[in-house]
Structure 1
């Protein structure tokens, strides 16, 4: 609810929380009391080290290859400002608003963890930006996912300082103007604030979280589409029986088979050919749905586990440990696990799309469906849904290109000091586009299956599948002749992305 504040403490944020904030459903985000205490405790450690003139990476020394350069006290604040300004050097198209909002939230949450040692004002201003709808312009390119997402996060920090550009209400304006109109003072960075704001995995995690949630909606809709296709092709639900899954009990396979059984229960179409059907087995695209859909389920479940941990982790460097008074350099900024997980998401979606395309083809091909060619009313004079399969073939090729992993392509940066990087942002961008494209593949199967079911009337499918058909029909009327299908497909694909076609 927009009026219900979301309290963050660096430990309990959910992926669904991220989506609600990203899409503007939640605008009031506040620091939990424990987070305020943790921030203050870590800051005291930083200030104690500064007062003792101890060598601390990025606080009293330079960065990266320049870590051996000791920074005199009078230049340490300038060091923090300079690291933000110099690193705000990305390029390409601005990221969408929802990604920037997710990025603001995730950076605030990791700082709230209490191991960064930044000034509390850094976190407060990040949350103010969310509440006031001030979104720094963050370019698409510039991060290799180690040492963290430095460039995109620097563009966020630049906006906090009242520099660069921000988007407010759809208009891009100077950050200084937006802060003044919102009654907010620009951030005056202190020692360690700069490096704390820009060092972490939040860019790839923000994009990846939104990609994963869209992918999960798409996969849920794929189960519905597959069940509808099975009924439309008068296939058998026998291969989904529980004993078959029990002897190969991969969690995704078991869950997929159970879902398919539930979706198909009560179908009059299934009962119409249960006895006397001469066919022995269905094609793999029907019979092996639990095994293929289930593999995608397990892949997305792994990615969810990774992201749930990552968005509640301290990914700064160096890290501050108030319980011991230590400040320790480490590598939590390295996004390899995020990049690999998001590469896996793209791979899983490409394969799930491949089995969906085969079912769509079978419904449109009269040799495999027993239905009118391309489900046209008058085949020959009309082409019906012929071109949906052709368009899906194009999308499927795009998905296969996107399935090529980014996380194996490390390119050393920073004069060789950063000699292995994750390419997590590239993996995240691919995963989000894959989720977007996947929705079109599922939408095409839904539209074709709903049309094919009409050829079996007056028999009805199961109650949940009839509800799914009603949802398709709310967006796409039954064919009454050839028509342009672009608007139909966009409506159904949008429904797939937002979780309308789940069969519930």
Structure 2
């Protein structure tokens, strides 16, 4: 049982709560902290002490006083006025993660939100009644105002929700469960929409998805190297001790073990080839650099997960701080950095696809014996080329831009919400690039028969063959690509390889546990 506002929240725990594999709720200590913060806000209203967002307007209207009798109406209106999102709805899982991360931030007891309100949000999580949130409209500072406003409209009986995979007006589902809309208390509306949970939730999904892409890239890259009769000498740990970047040594270690032992590798030890192309030889350096970027994002996302990011912060009735914890820059920069890392992982994978098609080192041109009438695997590489270029165009850092808002009061914003969305778009493309390399590598390695690769790579090949067969002639390769994309996107390809390695004592992981998702 995880206790919001008290226990330490990790990325792995968030994902398990979202999937229903980990129960989460409030402990006695959580409730004490929540009620103490609520009481502090009530005392502020009673005494008439001026505190931003409690008895003042918002943003450029911070100097406008709000009467005690209007403090509740003010919170209702902020949800309405700030619900200006446009575009497609974000994935339901991301919206659910937004709810989970918001509850954890508010339950720490510095936001003045009532237990009743947090229990209603908890009901949404537990019953899988997930608000519809448009993907565009946040500038990533002063909180993710627009998406968070849409996220919490159902609390006051507005907006839409997804329930049992269907979209309904929120009021319809509230009636179904015999629930009434909430009347928000002082500061609650502001506390709900101030924060970075939109950026954070996309970061969490990116950390998860990029982790599995990094794992898949190592396995698939090793398959390509075997099919191209490359050598594992560049992965010798003695080499990497001389330049010990954490990601590089980690990837070299696992490639060395993934490729051992291998009949294919042994068959060409005296082939006379001096060096492999960079896309084979430099996998530790390139994949490893992307792992370093991933690790940076993971570490900063975990900090944000356990932070309080609304404004103002309520320490006591007579002690409040109006600051900028809602500013998304701490995540915007690493999200943009990770975007380059993900794009480069696809870039090098495309180069390996190209090598597999060249007809060198004993492989048939375009990975088919009868080409001419057949185009073979020529055109799938067109797709990787297109996706690699698309990713390059998506790598422009959103955090390098800022447009003032709120009539200049909010004069520097992070645009981190765009960074988070773009990173996940890049990962979408990356999964397809890796799917095509996996398809080509599986085809190519069969031209090395009867020789076998290492036990782990033979297992990986057998797993692929459960979904696509060897291609003797042209067919609709989009179907094969989609099948490969699915086993990468649902993590089953990587999980299958991990399980095989664990069951057969193949050392994939060094003692550096920081590179694990958990």
Report the TM range for the smaller structure's normalisation.
Answer: over 0.9
Deviations 1:380-435 (A, max 9, x none): 22222111111110111111111111111111100000000000110011011111
Change (3 A) 1:27 1:289: closer
Residue 163 of structure 1 and its aligned partner are, at CA, apart by: 1.1
Residue 325 of structure 1 and its aligned partner are, at CA, apart by: 5.2
Equivalence for 2:302: 308
Equivalence for 2:514: none
The answer to whether structure 1 residue 453 and structure 2 residue 449 are counterparts is no
The answer to whether structure 1 residue 434 and structure 2 residue 426 are counterparts is yes
The answer to whether structure 1 residue 248 and structure 2 residue 240 are counterparts is no
Task: Give the distance between the partners of 1:27 and 1:141, measured in 2 at CA.
Answer: 30
Residue 370 of structure 1 and its aligned partner are, at CA, apart by: 2.8
Task: Give the distance between the partners of 2:477 and 2:178, measured in 1 at CA.
Answer: 49
Q: 2:221 aligns with which of 223, 226, 241?
A: 226
Question: How do 1:386-401 and structure 2 match up within 5 A?
Answer: 386-401=378-393
Residue 374 of structure 1 and its aligned partner are, at CA, apart by: 0.8
Deviations 1:83-121 (A, max 9, x none): 111001111111121111111111111111221111112
Task: Give the distance between the partners of 2:361 and 2:63, measured in 1 at CA.
Answer: 71
Q: Are the equivalent residues in 2 in contact too, given 1:10–1:312 (CA < 8 A)?
A: no
Task: Give the distance between the partners of 2:267 and 2:451, measured in 1 at CA.
Answer: 8
Residue 369 of structure 1 and its aligned partner are, at CA, apart by: 4.0
SS in 1 for 2:400: coil
Residue 125 of structure 1 and its aligned partner are, at CA, apart by: 0.9
Q: 1:496 aligns with which of 488, 495, 499?
A: 488
Task: Give the distance between the partners of 2:72 and 2:21, measured in 1 at CA.
Answer: 34
Question: How do 1:10-21 and structure 2 match up within 5 A?
Answer: 11-21=7-17
Equivalence for 2:502: none
Residue 489 of structure 1 and its aligned partner are, at CA, apart by: 1.1
Deviations 1:182-205 (A, max 9, x none): 232322101011101110000011
Equivalence for 1:289: 283
Deviations 1:23-63 (A, max 9, x none): x4348531233221211121222222222211100001111
Task: Give the distance between the partners of 1:32 and 1:226, measured in 2 at CA.
Answer: 47
Deviations 1:450-473 (A, max 9, x none): 111100111100011111111111
Residue 277 of structure 1 and its aligned partner are, at CA, apart by: 1.6
Q: 2:5 aligns with which of 9, 29, 32?
A: 9
Task: Give the distance between the partners of 1:298 and 1:465, measured in 2 at CA.
Answer: 25
Equivalence for 1:61: 56
Residue 304 of structure 1 and its aligned partner are, at CA, apart by: 0.4
Q: Are the equivalent residues in 2 in contact too, given 1:106–1:202 (CA < 8 A)?
A: yes
The answer to whether structure 1 residue 71 and structure 2 residue 66 are counterparts is yes
Task: Give the distance between the partners of 1:9 and 1:209, measured in 2 at CA.
Answer: 18
| Structure 2, unaligned runs of 5 or more | 499-518
Residue 337 of structure 1 and its aligned partner are, at CA, apart by: 1.4
Task: Give the distance between the partners of 1:307 and 1:183, measured in 2 at CA.
Answer: 37
Q: 2:169 aligns with which of 174, 179, 184?
A: 174
Q: Are the equivalent residues in 2 in contact too, given 1:58–1:192 (CA < 8 A)?
A: yes
Equivalence for 1:200: 195
Question: How do 1:312-391 and structure 2 match up within 5 A?
Answer: 312-322=306-316, 326-366=319-359, 368-391=360-383
Q: Report the TM-score, using the length of structure 2 for normalisation.
A: 0.93
The answer to whether structure 1 residue 425 and structure 2 residue 417 are counterparts is yes
Aligned length: 496
Deviation above 4 Å: which 4+ runs of structure 1?
none
Deviations 1:61-91 (A, max 9, x none): 1111111111111111111111111001111
Q: Are the equivalent residues in 2 in contact too, given 1:215–1:349 (CA < 8 A)?
A: yes
Q: Are the equivalent residues in 1 in contact too, given 2:398–2:416 (CA < 8 A)?
A: yes
The answer to whether structure 1 residue 151 and structure 2 residue 146 are counterparts is yes
Q: Are the equivalent residues in 2 in contact too, given 1:21–1:101 (CA < 8 A)?
A: no
Equivalence for 2:398: 406
Task: Give the distance between the partners of 1:498 and 1:174, measured in 2 at CA.
Answer: 30
Q: 2:473 aligns with which of 477, 481, 486?
A: 481
Change (3 A) 1:26 1:161: farther
Residue 501 of structure 1 and its aligned partner are, at CA, apart by: 2.8
Change (3 A) 1:315 1:10: farther
| Structure 1, unaligned runs of 5 or more | none
Equivalence for 2:273: 279
